[in-house]
Amino acid sequence: MKTRDEALALDRDDPLAPLRNRFALAPGVIYLDGNSLGVPPVAASARAQAVIGQEWGEGLIRSWNTAGWFALPRRLGDKLAPLIGAGRDEVVVTDTISVNLFKLLSAALRMMAERDPRRRVIVSERANFPTDLYIAQGLIEQLDRGYTLRLVDDPADLPDAIDDETAVAMITHVNYRTGYMHDMASLTHLIHQAGALALWDLAHSAGAVPVDLNGVGADFAVGCTYKYLNGGPGSPAFAWVAKRHQNTLAQPLSGWWGHRKPFAMDPRYAPDEGIGRFLCGTQPIVSMSLVEAGLDVFLETDMAAIRRKSLALTDRFIELVEARCAGHALTLVTPRAHAQRGSHASFEHPHGYEIMQALIARGVIGDYREPHVLRFGFTPLYTRFVDVWDAVETLRDILDTEAWRAPEFAARHSVT
Amino acid sequence: MKTRDEALALDRDDPLAPLRNRFALAPGVIYLDGNSLGVPPVAASARAQAVIGQEWGEGLIRSWNTAGWFALPRRLGDKLAPLIGAGRDEVVVTDTISVNLFKLLSAALRMMAERDPRRRVIVSERANFPTDLYIAQGLIEQLDRGYTLRLVDDPADLPDAIDDETAVAMITHVNYRTGYMHDMASLTHLIHQAGALALWDLAHSAGAVPVDLNGVGADFAVGCTYKYLNGGPGSPAFAWVAKRHQNTLAQPLSGWWGHRKPFAMDPRYAPDEGIGRFLCGTQPIVSMSLVEAGLDVFLETDMAAIRRKSLALTDRFIELVEARCAGHALTLVTPRAHAQRGSHASFEHPHGYEIMQALIARGVIGDYREPHVLRFGFTPLYTRFVDVWDAVETLRDILDTEAWRAPEFAARHSVT
């Protein structure tokens, strides 16, 4: 892709191009932050009106049954399942990634305590998204039974770190900062060979890259609906539990939504059969309902097509940045190998923060992650090849003219 | 109130009557279930459009700062605080009651383990809303350190049950089924005299009855925004922690939103100062934003005025049912004494389920709670005295004509 015309030609040939019309895109913006917050599906606004006006306003309390509110966490879970290689009754959309990690990590440790109580180590990466590590730390401190969190500094160190002391390996499939993607199949195999359980965080995977949880035989997973799935700001997360584990697991957030008969009002907790026991409390129905508008767009394509376009976009973005911004101290931190790359591309630059502010001021929205990382997400449902071209040209101009040195772009630690 | 005209006269004299216009009420419905799910404020629909169209659609990721999404859990907490006698920086709107109970109960047990480790008993009522008991059971099982849940069958048994083994008394202020209201001041005093901590569930209190958490010196509280506060179906719950405890408490759901510097991406958890450490993960912003539309209506009145009308409504409802439905096996289970009554009134009837179905079919929406209870909620912001009259007349007719015996109203266990 050497010219803007070539980019436009790629867009004309793109089989996913028509899906861009399913989204309400802000005019004058090139949005490369769908890996942090996806854009609104066109259907979201009308869906919210229907939920507020008809379901809430007219149906009132009856809508728990008549509008299917009670069933939403499981129904949306079933709709999401094919995107991550899961089956029916294996996924619930509920709560947050942090809360779901707590449930699954608790359940995993308890399962392992019965199977092999000497295993007291949770293995993860120091570069994992922090909340995953914080939740493990909070649980370890609460249990106060000698559990430890073992962190590796390099993905290549994971095989050595996962051993006969390991209870659970809690791994994020695609790294939020670098875009590095693990080989889920071989790592799950390795974890199981070591006698441990595999808990995957799919925050930057669901809707972005093909995932086959049942195919690789994983044990647990959590993920996000507000990034590539376009569910809306802070829309509820999801939890997946392999069918073989569901009925043997207990999790401590045993609220009434996980009860076998929530309306029998029994004072004793009795967990639901199956995935239902991973629910806890009443969910935010308006935000939940919008998740469906995002998922519905995926019914018009498949993850293989999305992956093809994702790699084509990140390939071209990396090539163009390296060709047209050469000599500007930008260092690619995202793997070049397709098998190790998610759907975003990140470059380090000593003035990454200021450069990103200058880009945003010109309508090219990526984001900045400490330290030094300019992060650009590519969302094949609505990102065009011409957006790649235009974004790189804007970046080039900002670097060539040193526009990022303007005082208004200086780091103000607004996000610390 | 002996005639419908008297009811209409009371409405004409009602200082809260104009606030009814702040709500989008379904035509042809007398809604007496605001204690389960409040109605939509008129402002909710436009607010959702603005959040989806402008904040999400145009502001995109920038709205976390520019639209104040990051600040929402605390800003809404501050707005809610005056309704429950709390101060600034003491309340967060977040997660669900179940999840918040888990945080606060964990923190309370841990605090007490340091202060007096022999105290291993959580005291509550068998008639408490089940999820409160389930969460305590889940936590006790997870900790596996000899904690027990001691349940009393009668509120009068609480003083004896709270003793020098008690770590926490977890009490729901207004009972979801009977409408019985505890004396929060004297019970908190008694709990503290016994050396224990007081955790209050305000699900049926916030926005319904005056609450003075700081005045009574309580320790912790949780509550709901989707009942009397009209925040929308499943809108996020709230948590309150007395200022004196905040910085000494640790809670295990230590997600990144509770971190001192969430965007520093430090792999080690460090709790925020103050109430912020009781946050965990990213919140559902569309549902969160609607909570404000509900809270804003309360700025136009005060809890004393709401309480006066609430008691006037429940008094008249009880009187009318007992006068006009006499001889129909209805038994009041809600206390007659004002000091012991929340904002709903419940009657037992052996065919309570069928009778409620018949009422709903005629547009009088209350709800049914196992076993045998017809529950009617009175929400002074939008319930009229004439609604009380008309609801009782409909009930009377259904009983007099035995309309509830129609096969379509038979119990189908649809909610078990």
Give the separation between CA A182 and CA A216, rounded to whole angstroms: 13
Residue B358, both tokens: 């018949």
- For residue B53, which residues of chain A lie inside 8 Å, CB to CB? 24, 40, 45
A95 in reach of chain B (CB within 8 A): yes
Give a three-class secondary structure readout of A101-165.
HHHHHHHHHHHHHHHCCCCCEEEEECCCCHHHHHHHHHHHHHHCCCCEEEEECCHHHHHHHCCCC
Contact A49 B49 (CB under 8 A): yes
Residue-wise burial string across A195-219, b where 16 or more C-beta atoms lie within 10 A, e elsewhere: bbbbbbbbbbbbbbbbbebeebebb
Tell whether the torsion through CA atoms of A77, A78, A83 and A86 is positive or negative.
Answer: positive
Q: How far is CA B248 from the centre of its chain?
A: 27
What chain A holds in terms of domains, given with CATH numbers, is: 4-42+302-409 (3.90.1150.10), 68-299 (3.40.640.10)
Give the separation between CA A270 and CA A258, rounded to whole angstroms: 8
Which residue among B316, B341, B375, B384 is the active-site one?
B375
**Cα–Cα distance list, A218 to A184, A214, A325, A412 (Å):** 9, 6, 41, 43
Picking from A99, A235, A286, the nearest residue to B280 by CB comes out as A99
User: Catalytic residue at B243?
Assistant: no
Residues forming beta bridges with residue A122, ordered by sequence position:
A149, A168
Give the separation between CA A87 and CA B381, rounded to whole angstroms: 46
For this complex, say whether ipTM is above 0.90.
Answer: yes
Q: What are phi and psi of A32, to 5 degrees?
A: -115, 45
Cβ-based neighbours of B157, under 8 Å, separated by 6 or more: none
Q: Which residue, among A300, A336, A294, A304, has the nearest Cα to A317 in the 3D structure?
A: A336
User: Catalytic residue at B226?
Assistant: yes
A299 in reach of chain B (CB within 8 A): no
- Determine how β-strand B344-348 pairs with β-strand B373-377: antiparallel
What is the per-residue pLDDT across A171-222, written as a single tens digit (0 to 9) for each?
A: 999 999 999 999 999 999 999 999 999 999 999 999 999 999 999 999 999 9
Residue B398, both tokens: 């259904």
A117 in reach of chain B (CB within 8 A): no
Query: What integer is the mean pLDDT of A13-20?
Result: 98
Give the separation between CA B14 and CA B21, rounded to whole angstroms: 14
Please report the beta strands in A209-267, taking only residues with DSSP state E, as ranges in sequence order: 220-223, 238-241
State chain B's maximal CA–CA distance in angstroms: 69
Q: Which residue, among A53, A78, A38, has the nearest Cα to A231 in the 3D structure?
A: A38
- For residue A416, which residues of chain B lie inside 8 Å, CB to CB? 261, 263-264
B365 in reach of chain A (CB within 8 A): yes
Within a 10 A sphere around the Cβ of A54, how many other Cβ atoms? 13
What is the per-residue pLDDT across B278-322, written as a single tens digit (0 to 9) for each?
A: 999 999 999 999 999 999 999 999 999 999 999 999 999 999 999
Task: Reply yes or no on whether the pLDDT at B415 is more than 80.
Answer: no
Picking from B26, B97, B416, the nearest residue to A281 by CB comes out as B97
User: Catalytic residue at B375?
Assistant: yes
- For residue B367, which residues of chain A lie inside 8 Å, CB to CB? 61
Cβ-based neighbours of A59, under 8 Å, separated by 6 or more: A66, A67
What is the per-residue pLDDT across A236-266, written as a single tens digit (0 to 9) for each?
A: 999 999 999 999 999 999 999 999 999 999 9
State chain A's maximal CA–CA distance in angstroms: 69
Specify the pLDDT at position B411. 74
Contact A138 B251 (CB under 8 A): yes
What is the per-residue pLDDT across B330-380, written as a single tens digit (0 to 9) for each?
A: 999 999 999 999 999 999 999 999 999 999 999 999 999 988 999 999 999
**Cα–Cα distance list, A152 to A122, A155, A177, A185, B101 (Å):** 11, 7, 16, 19, 34
Picking from A31, A139, A259, the nearest residue to B134 by CB comes out as A259
Cβ-based neighbours of A377, under 8 Å, separated by 6 or more: A32, A33, A34, A35, A36, A227, A343, A344, A366
Which residue among B227, B309, B369, B384 is the active-site one?
B227
Cβ-based neighbours of A33, under 8 Å, separated by 6 or more: A365, A366, A367, A375, A376, A377, B60, B61
Task: Reply yes or no on whether the pLDDT at A289 is more than 60.
Answer: yes
User: Catalytic residue at A385?
Assistant: no
Distance from CA of B135 to the nearest CA of A (A): 5
**Which residues 229-268 of A are in CB contact (within 8 Å) with B?**
232-237, 250-259, 261-268
Specify the pLDDT at position B412. 61
Across chain A, what does the average pLDDT equal?
97
pTM: 0.97
